[in-house]
Homo-oligomer: A and B are copies of this chain.
């Protein structure tokens, strides 16, 4: 089992899910333990009965969130190019750009994982491998799946740093167009 046995599992799960939203919105490193714990209705005192420190929470967030993203793509019918394009368009949408707290963890927290301890990166690597493996089944080619992830994560990351919706639409539209071009090369 993934969580330690006992009744702690429920609180821990809520802590991970709720603090993930805050971390995706404001950033993990700049968010204090008090604020992170409060998202689950807890105090920092309780927090340290679930995690040895902040670093462990980031690893748990990354693992849970990447699993969620993977699940979102897992339902796609491998034979349906249309379903795949709908999922890609949703990822590369203004709605996703506008709501990081509800979106994929990659554009928001990947750059923080890059500065985290090796154990955190190991969790990230394992979870990303599973995500790209699932996407590879749907796309037909594993290498292309990886590139589509990079393209989409980069586009959303950049779009969020832009000031105008006009510029955001340009970046997202360009990414959607290139995603189609890449899928057409198969």
Residues of A within 8 A of B (CB): 25-27, 29-30, 100, 106-108, 110-115, 118, 121-122, 124-125, 128-129, 143-144, 146-147, 149-155, 157-158, 160-164, 167, 170-171, 173-175, 177-178, 181-182, 185
Contacts and interface: CB of A to CB of B under 8 A. Distances in A.
A114 B170 contact: no
A138 to B, nearest CB: 16
Contact of A171 (B27, B121, B146, B182): B146
A136 to B, nearest CB: 10
A180 B160 CA distance: 26
Contacts of A129: 167
B112 A158 contact: no
A144 B110 CA distance: 24
Contacts of A143: 173-174, 177-178
A157 B157 contact: yes
A158 B30 contact: no
Contacts of A157: 106, 110-111, 114, 153-154, 157
15 contacts: A29-B30, A106-B158, A110-B158, A111-B112, A121-B161, A122-B163, A125-B162, A128-B158, A146-B175, A147-B151, A147-B177, A149-B158, A150-B155, A150-B174, A150-B178
